[in-house]
Amino acid sequence: MPVIKLKDISTKAPKEFNKEETKQKFAGMLEEFSELQNLLFASSTYSLLVVFQGMDASGKDGAIKNVFSSVNPQGVTVVSFKVPTEEELAHDFLWRVHEHSPAKGMIQVFNRSHYEDILVTRVHGWCNDETARKRMKAINDFEELLTEHGNTHIVKFYLHVSAEEQRQRLEERMQDPAKMWKYNEKDFIEAARYSEYHKVYEDCFEHCDKIPWTIVPSDQNWYKEYIMLKTILDVLKKLNMKYPGLKKT
């Protein structure tokens, strides 16, 4: 896989994409997703793990809300991995993650994930390069375990937002009453380390690529969500799932 350099990847939709046409396609794709998720749940043979990674204000929460708006809530769970608790720190770094791996028939969404332990920890110097390499190997082994023994299909998204768009969104949190609850002054401190985060993300893409990453241009929400849903649908359609039929008694 070629080395990914985020500075060479646009954060905006290609010019040939029309906003209104893309939003219409997205609406139709939501209906298709509803049917495929029902198939996944009913057949209970496979599971899907969807990993969302991205810098603050890259649009993870909104994407989860809109991309999964058409599916049955009984078949989808979302978990956010924040600062580890004292109990979690007493175990290996994947201990708190493994219990949230999806059961057959389920879609599990990670809003930030096990990758935080080789990203924010490196930027802040809490994890050195040697430890990060060991953790990357453990992550690769963990994902291989899920795919080979749990019939889990993994989709990994990096929401690629520009520094300018990120700052604008962070400033909106100070002005829009509906977004003020998201405001955290530390987000601006983290945003100032934009290039440092790019560096550790690129290292992550290179060494944790057995399951490929999808780099999603995220300055425009309508395009971001379209690409994410299309990627998920492509994975589910390849499973050729069928309803199990009547149960024998």
Return the structure tokens found at 113.
Answer: 């994930």
Can you tell me the distance from the alpha carbon of 76 to that of 157, in angstroms, rounded to the nearest whole number? 17
Regarding beta strands 47-54 and 152-160, do their DSSP bridges make them parallel or antiparallel, or are they unpaired?
parallel
Give the tens place of pLDDT for each residue, 143-202.
Answer: 999 999 879 999 999 999 999 999 999 999 999 999 999 999 899 999 999 999 999 999
Domain residues of the chain, as ranges?
Answer: 18-237
Give the tens place of pLDDT for each residue, 51-107.
Answer: 999 999 999 999 999 999 999 999 999 999 988 999 999 999 999 999 999 999 999
Q: CATH fold of 18-237, please?
A: Rossmann fold (3.40.50)
Can you tell me the distance from the alpha carbon of 134 to that of 118, in angstroms, rounded to the nearest whole number? 10
pLDDT at 48 over 80: yes
Return the structure tokens found at 15.
Answer: 């010019």
Whether the Cβ atoms of residue 159 and residue 224 lie closer than 8 Å to each other: yes
Which pTM value belongs to this model?
A: 0.95
The per-residue pLDDT of the chain, averaged, comes to 95
Reduced to 3 states (helix: H, G, I; strand: E, B; else coil), residue 92 is coil
Amino acid identity, residue 157? F
Identify the burial level of 89 via C-beta atoms within 10 angstroms of its C-beta, where 0-12 means exposed, 13-18 middle and 19 or more buried: exposed
pLDDT at 1 over 80: no
